[in-house]
């Protein structure tokens, strides 16, 4: 079937040999930044940078109080510790809008939450709590895709029972006296859920990548990494000591060129063949909302005899008719993915991560992974939370609650994205992705958008440099199955109101008439049929 990627106001269809790899339309939207907006964004950062240098000059001469870490006089002959752009950015740009991050909450991060109010008297350098709590703030920022972050219901009850029986901590590694029957039950369940031979669970999602990739690749190996991969994948690749080459985001032509060059030329200087070639990709890219072109990646992996490492942190539980992630979404064989990684922090309302694959792979990691050998085992109530929520998704709890939540998440995602497009916002990502980035661009609008939304009792996440390119600041919404239509409508009305106030409706896409939209939907339905 045709794969569609919207650029600007047009839509291009990728046909030919790639068409047969997809069992459904693949629609992603990355509308180009309007020229005027790009120019004004650069101007905004330019002005902030000039004022930043001016303020640094005033701090140097003690005219303005310096509140940042600085070198001591006795270390003046040493090489400075703080000399990079990130520190300049933190002092002079981030501090202006720091109140939009690290807000304390005092409730379950469910569909609604309670936020502790705080004030600052020194321009965001320090904060004081006022003692007031903002009640029932609609939570559009947490990764609670299936709504399992809750303090009532079967998951909470089973986690409480596990706490009474096992306690909270394990006080040992899996290789010592920290291997519980709950851990082994969890790993067998995860392997069954993924459709692989074996799996292994870890107590921290970030460390699942950063501590296991070095066990799988090393000197003489080549790692091909998507340019927008998560920091944990980047760190793991760097720690491995392998040669790293980056391909353009979700660009199969760029990936194939790197694969072809690697096969033809081999290692630098010696031109010996690479010991192994590992492709690192994510299921859903958490800042773009895009979905990996997995069928095409698998086809290239087979063609050039490479290994595929798939990070399903955001996609597991959130995609596919059975919630099995991007593999389930595209209907591909799980055995075509060599290393299946994911986390329990999003759809399962818990913490930690897993790696699944062949039994030989998992047995190797049990004895070679730093995260397995040196890290303390997963907390028993956390393991029980994962087991209960995963069985719910699989329907093994005797109810249809899991399927209902999967269906509700899909409906909420489609509705939320469609409404934002209709309002005229520039939205990134795949039409089925519950991660919804709304582009803000200009630095002043990052803080203004977050503050104005909180005034309307909507809690959101705004994102800027270094998590995104410096001129592509955005607000990132995470849709949940726990959101009701009334909640989404309330949030959408507030977004539209603030969008008008801050002039954020940048999209130049041609709005579809009712008849054209009906024709478009019938086209998609015919493909799905």
Q: Confidence band (pLDDT; 50, 70, 90) for 16? A: very low
Starting at the edge strand that comes first in sequence, how are the strands of the sheet with 26-29 ordered?
10-14, 3-7, 26-29, 429-430
User: What sign results for the dihedral spanned by CA atoms 492, 495, 497, 503?
Assistant: negative
Reading across the β-sheet that carries 277-282, which strands appear in turn? Answer: 198-202, 353-357, 339-343, 307-311, 277-282, 222-226, 243-247
Cβ-contact 443, 464 below 8 angstroms: yes
* Rounded-to-integer distance, Cα 508 and Cα 485, Å: 27
| Cβ atoms 325, 317 nearer than 8 A | yes
Instruction: Provide the pLDDT for residue 517.
Output: 46
Residue 383, both tokens: 């393991």
- H helices of 354-399, where? 359-368, 370-373, 380-394
Count of beta carbons in the 10 Å neighbourhood of residue 164:
9
What's the CA gap between 8 and 25, in Å, rounded? 19
Torsion of CA 50, 51, 55, 61, to 10 degrees: 50
Q: Is 377 within 8 Å of 183 (Cβ atoms)?
A: yes
Is residue 200 exposed (0-12), middle (13-18) or buried (19+ Cβ within 10 Å)? buried
Mean pLDDT confidence for 321-330: 96
pLDDT in tens, 113-131: 999 999 999 999 999 999 9
**Per-residue pLDDT at 68:** 75
Confidence band, pLDDT 50/70/90 cuts, at residue 14: very low
Non-local (6+) Cβ contacts of 310 within 8 A are 281, 282, 283, 292, 294, 326, 327, 337, 339, 340, 341
**Which carries the bigger pLDDT value, residue 8 or residue 396?**
396
pLDDT over 90, % of the chain: 81
Higher pLDDT among residues 101 and 19, named by residue: 101
Q: For the chain, what is the radius of gyration of the CA atoms?
A: 24
pLDDT at 82 over 90: no
Tell me what pLDDT residue 26 has: 87
Of 384, 386, 352, which Cα lies nearest the Cα of 212? 352
The pLDDT tens digits of the residues spanning 374-416 come to 999 999 999 999 999 999 999 999 999 999 999 999 999 999 9
Length in residues, the chain: 529
Report the pLDDT value the prediction gives residue 529, as an integer from 0 to 100: 43
**Is residue 219 helix, strand or coil?**
coil
Q: Are 77 and 95 in contact (CB under 8 A)?
A: no
Mean pLDDT to the nearest integer, 175-197: 96
How many Cβ atoms from other residues are within 10 Å of residue 490's Cβ?
A: 16
pLDDT at 9: 34
Residue 398: which residues within 8 A CB-CB, separation 6 or more?
A: none
Question: DSSP characters for 258-311?
Answer: HHHHHHHH-STTT-PPPS-EEEEEESB-TTT--B--HHHHHHHHHHTT-EEEEE
Distance CA 28, CA 428 (A): 8
Least reliable range by pLDDT among 14-18, 293-297, 334-338: 14-18
Give the SS3 label for residue 354: strand
How far apart (Å, rounded) are the C-alpha atoms in residues 256 and 482? 40
316: DSSP letter: T
The pLDDT score that the predictor gives to residue 520 is 46
List all residues 6 or more positions away from 130 whose beta carbon is below 8 Å from its beta carbon: 117, 118, 119
pLDDT for the residue 525: 41
Whether the CB-CB separation of 412 and 436 falls below 8 Å is answered with no
Instruction: Tell me what pLDDT residue 23 has.
Output: 79
pTM for the model: 0.90
3-state secondary structure of 451: helix
Residues 233-242: contacts with CB under 8 Å, at least 24 apart: 233/209, 233/280, 233/282, 233/311, 235/209, 235/210, 236/209, 236/210, 236/211, 236/212, 237/213, 237/280, 239/210, 239/213, 239/214, 240/213, 240/214, 240/216, 241/214, 242/217, 242/218, 242/278
| Element at 157 (helix H, strand E) | helix 154-166
Mean pLDDT of the chain: 90
Long-range contacts, stretch 327-335, CB < 8 angstroms, 24+ apart: 327/194, 327/195, 327/294, 329/291, 329/294, 329/432, 330/22, 330/23, 330/294, 330/295, 331/23, 332/294, 332/295, 332/298, 334/194, 334/195, 334/196, 335/195, 335/196
Contact (CB, 8 A) for 106 and 133: yes
What pLDDT does 513 receive? 45
- Report which of 229, 195, 224 is spatially closest to residue 340, judged by C-alpha positions: 195
For 217-233, write each residue's pLDDT tens digit: 999 999 999 999 999 99
Distance between CA atoms of 14 and 293, rounded to whole angstroms? 12
What is the per-residue pLDDT for 78? 80
């Amino acid at each position: 079937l045709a794969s569609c990627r919207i650029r600007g106001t047009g839509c291009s269809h990728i046909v030919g040999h790639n068409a047969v790899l997809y069992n459904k339309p693949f629609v992603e939207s990355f509308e180009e930044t309007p020229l005027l907006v790009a120019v004004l964004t650069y101007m905004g950062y330019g002005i902030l940078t000039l004022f930043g240098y001016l303020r640094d000059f005033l701090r140097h001469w003690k005219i303005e109080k310096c509140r940042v870490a600085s070198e001591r006089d006795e270390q003046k002959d040493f090489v400075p510790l703080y000399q990079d752009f990130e520190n300049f950015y933190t002092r002079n740009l981030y501090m202006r809008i720091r109140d939009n991050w690290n807000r304390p909450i005092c409730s379950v991060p469910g569909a609604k939450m309670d936020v502790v109010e705080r004030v600052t008297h020194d321009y965001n350098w320090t904060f004081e709590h006022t003692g007031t709590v903002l009640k029932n703030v609609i939570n559009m920022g947490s990764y609670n895709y299936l709504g399992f972050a809750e303090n009532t219901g079967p998951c909470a009850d089973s986690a409480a029972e596990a706490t009474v029986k096992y306690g909270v901590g394990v006080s040992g590694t899996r290789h010592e006296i920290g291997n519980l029957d709950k851990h082994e039950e969890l790993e067998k369940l995860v392997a069954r859920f993924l459709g692989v031979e074996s799996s292994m669970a870890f107590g921290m999602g970030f460390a699942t990548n950063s501590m296991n990739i070095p066990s799988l690749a090393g000197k003489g190996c080549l790692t091909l990494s998507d340019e927008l991969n998560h920091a944990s994948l980047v760190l793991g690749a760097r720690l491995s000591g392998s040669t790293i080459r980056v391909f353009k985001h979700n660009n199969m032509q760029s990936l194939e060129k790197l694969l072809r060059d690697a096969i033809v030329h081999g290692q630098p200087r010696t031109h010996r063949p690479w010991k192994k070639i590992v492709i690192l990709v994510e299921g859903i890219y958490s800042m773009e909302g895009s979905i990996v072109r997995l069928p095409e990646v698998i086809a290239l992996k087979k063609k050039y005899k490479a290994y595929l490492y798939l990070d399903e942190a955001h996609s597991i539980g959130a995609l596919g008719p059975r919630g099995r992630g991007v593999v389930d979404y595209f209907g591909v064989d799980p055995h075509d993915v060599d290393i299946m990684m994911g986390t329990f922090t999003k759809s399962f309302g818990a913490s930690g991560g897993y790696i699944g694959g062949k039994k030989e792979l998992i047995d190797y990691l049990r004895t070679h992974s730093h995260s397995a050998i040196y890290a303390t085992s997963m907390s028993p109530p956390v393991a029980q939370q994962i087991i209960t929520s995963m069985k719910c998704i699989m329907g093994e709890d005797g109810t249809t609650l899991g399927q209902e939540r999967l269906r509700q998440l899909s409906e909420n995602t489609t509705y939320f994205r469609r409404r934002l497009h209709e309002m005229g916002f520039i939205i990134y990502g795949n039409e089925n992705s519950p991660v919804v980035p709304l582009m803000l661009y200009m630095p002043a609008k990052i803080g203004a958008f977050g503050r104005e939304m909180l005034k309307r009792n909507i809690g959101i996440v705004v994102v800027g440099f270094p998590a995104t390119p410096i001129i592509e600041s955005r607000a990132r919404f995470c849709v949940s199955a726990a959101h009701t239509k009334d909640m989404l409508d309330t949030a959408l009305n507030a977004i539209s109101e603030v969008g008008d106030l801050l002039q954020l409706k940048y999209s130049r896409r041609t709005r579809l008439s009712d008849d054209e939209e009906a024709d478009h939907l019938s086209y998609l339905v015919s493909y799905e049929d």
